[in-house]
Structure 1
Amino acid sequence: MKKIFLFIVLLFVGWHAHAQVVLNLQLPPLGLTIKPQLWNLSLVNTSAQDLQVRIEMVMTDVSNNQRVLTGTSKLILLPRGVKQLQLSDVMPITYNPGSPGYAVDPSPEGFLPIGLFNICYTVIRVQSDEVDRLGEECETIEVEPISPPQLMMPLDEEQVDITRPFFAWIPPSPFNTLNSLLFDWVLVEVQATQSPADAIQQNVPVLSRQNISFTNLQYPLSAPELDSSKLYAWRITAKNNMSPIANSEVWSFRVRRYGPDTIAATGTGYFAKLYREEGAAFAICTGVLRFEYLNELNSAAINLRLFDISTAMRKQITLDSTDQQVRLGQNFVQVDLRQTSGMIHKHMYLLEVENARGEKRYLKFEYRE
């Protein structure tokens, strides 16, 4: 027993003699988000003399051990005892990106990539031509997005007008730190005794989609229509490099129940807004398509194009006239589609509006007879 104890003591003494500097990473309360926070360190110089050192940092991905980022501090004079490093003590820092598969902000104050990483620090003494490793410490840390994905539509507790709604959301931020961003979407039915959050966790999905590369999803025509007598809940999971990084909130909605003469009046007098993105605006058209258009160029006309997007290959619909007369300022445009060939009940269509400068605006809508 005495031999074992002596062996352990000798091992500790030998380690202590080699590791002359002890490192402690001090994470901020809300976690790591930007590069300067990597250098919240305290160093303990256990030797009997002041040391001139530099610190090398290596960040690797836990899932595949690929190098993501490295950083090297300037030379630091490390006195005996404890030293709490300030950012000014290590600046300027030389950063080098690792694998090209990671989106690393090149700025010294930039955001860190999002994910689960191993971070290893090494204290190296530089004396004449000699380089000696005095201490090393590694930690596993998770860099989380500042903001998780945000749901946009349908709104929480909304009653939607159609049985195949259009879903949209905002990606997590900071977006530029995500190099391979995908989304999982899930829709479940909420039972009478459940909250929407419980339903997402416990119920079999009505429909789900994985690895969506866009921030919107049209409920497919191939799936059964949603039931106006039921409550539905949905959620988005953001993934980076195929690993989940954040969940959105859970929102719920119902499909509005209509009487036999209600649908024909839906949208009467309502003029939809156009947006730059194809999936940002949605409306229901019951024969006459109505939309707002702001003419800032004082041009005499705008060009209209219409596409059926209900199938995999979008099909252009031939309009009676592709030119729409407009005046300067706000215009309220009505396009009668009731006699247009190619309009099919409950199909999804995309209207493209192009001005004289070549700028395009879009409106997605469902056509109803």
Structure 2
Amino acid sequence: MKKGISILLTTLFGLFCLQGKAQYTFAFMPEVQGRSIDNIYKVRIGNTGGIVTANLRIVVTEAHAGAVVTIDIPQFQLMSGVGTVPPAAVYHATVGFGTNKLATVIRQSGYFPEGDYEYCFQLYEGVNHNNELLAEQCFSYELEPFSNMQLIQPYDEDKICDKRPSFNWQPLIPAVNGVEYRLLLVEVKDRQQPVEALRMNLAIINQRQIPMPMLLYPSIANELVEGKQYAWQVSAYQNDLVLAQSEIWSFTVDCEKDSTKLPAEAFRNIEDLTKGNFYIARGQLLFSLQNTYAATDLVYSIRCLTKPEQAIKKLPVIPIAGGYNQVVIDLSDNSSFKDGYYYIMDVTLPDGTRKQLRFIYKQAE
């Protein structure tokens, strides 16, 4: 009888010890937290046991480049339940980088470019990773590219008269320290598509190391020829690693049909403009709107984004009638507007809705 009781107690004690052994899990969203080094630290660790002293190693590898980042977080108290690594431990973390180009970009920017990544979290007992491995969990994720770079000017399929135009595009998002841009401009031959022209034709402009999202026409490049079509594309890169590319846009040099001469299609609906990025205001703002109320004056204001401290004064009064309106706001005689500066217009429509239109001001030709 005593022997049976002894066996039963031993079995129950074993089960109790098995159930009492702590389990550790990691909660990590690579699509969100895997885009930058700072966000990797936000991994959440689940602990089903009591308080334990632990340290954490994070190893990030890319399928083609290999190991890119290794992070060692020194000892910290891992509490029961689910929580993050204490900020004090994160502050004293040691970050090591691989020897490949991808690792160099990550070290300089703090962001992970497009790639097929694996994020491995290794939790060790005690003060260093030479002790017992408590848990290890890896997450794989193929990071999508940075948000598409948007070209701004010259507009796609536009007709311009400027034979030495300037080029503008939206900067890389999210911003990366030390990013540079490359602009490629080629002529589109007969029966060619713009994408084929960029791949096959000799470049008119192949400018690298552009620090800002704009390029004035290089003085050493031959001017464009009237009647010919051209294609252009911009790439963002760092240390020869391409981070993102824009679409391919084309335009034609055509002074007889210059789209800056107020064609009907220049009056784009304000609803469409507010959905875009930047509008080019060549001396004036042109847009259309529908007013279902009585005639009134347009309620609007303009702020400078390039120099926020600059006040915009003496804006013209713009009357709008009932029904369809083609609005022209002439800015050419206002000294508040500088060529190449960025601005934002706040508009309150007659029905009370508010719209914002970002634009780049260009002097009228």
Tell me the TM-score normalised to structure 2 length. Answer: 0.50
1:48-197 paired onto structure 2 within 5 Å: 53-59=54-60, 75-76=77-78, 88-92=82-86, 94-95=89-90, 96=93, 98=95, 102-104=108-110, 112-114=111-113, 119-126=119-126, 131-133=131-133, 146-175=146-175, 178-197=176-195
Q: Which secondary structure does the structure 2 equivalent of 1:206 belong to?
A: strand
* 2:297 match: none
Give the equivalent residue in structure 1 for 2:313.
Answer: 295
CA contact (8 A) 1:57 1:119 kept: yes
- CA shift for structure 1 position 140: 8.3
Structure 2: unaligned runs, 5 residues or longer: 1-22, 98-103, 263-281, 286-302, 315-330, 342-359
Aligned to 2:196: 198
CA displacement at 1:256 relative to structure 2 = 1.6
Counterpart pick for 1:232 among 219, 230, 233: 230
Q: Which runs of 5+ in 1 are unaligned?
A: 1-20, 79-85, 105-111, 279-292, 297-329, 335-348, 353-361
**Richer in helix (by share):** 2
Deviations 1:263-301 (A, max 9, x none): xx979xx845896649xxxxxxxxxxxxxx9437xxxxx
Q: Where does residue 209 of structure 1 map in the other structure?
A: 207
Alpha-carbon distance in 1 for matches of 2:71, 2:195: 37
Amino acid at match of 1:57: I
Is residue 234–residue 251 contact of structure 1 (8 Å, CA) maintained in 2?
A: yes
CA deviation map 1:309-339 (0-9, x unaligned): xxxxxxxxxxxxxxxxxxxxx89359xxxxx
Give CA deviations for 1:210-263 in whole Å, capped at 9, x if unaligned.
11111111112321111222221111111134311111111111112339xx9x
Structure 1 pair 205/183, CA: closer, same or farther in 2 (3 Å)? same
Do the aligned residues in 2 keep the contact of 1:144 with 1:245 (CA within 8 Å)?
A: no
* Alpha-carbon offset, residue 54 of structure 1: 4.5
Which secondary structure state, in structure 2, belongs to the residue aligned with residue 174 of structure 1?
coil
Identity among equivalent positions (%) equals 21
Aligned 8 A contact 1:114 1:142 in 2: no
Of residues 225-234 and 138-147 in structure 1, the stretch that sits farther from structure 2 once superposed is 138-147
For 1:68 and 1:251, locate their aligned partners in 2 and report how far apart those are by CA, in whole Å.
41
**Whole-Å Cα distance in 2 between the matches of residues 141 and 363 of structure 1?**
42
Partner residue of 1:33?
A: 35
| 8 Å CA contact 2:160, 2:255 repeated in 1 | no
Paired residues, number: 251
Alpha carbons of structure 1 residues 174 and 333: separation in structure 2 relative to 1, 3 Å? closer
**RMSD across aligned positions (CA):** 5.3
Q: Evaluate the alpha carbon distance shift between residue 189 and residue 241 of structure 1 in structure 2; reply closer, same or farther with a 3 A threshold.
A: same
Q: Distance in 2 between matches of 1:350 and 1:103?
A: 31
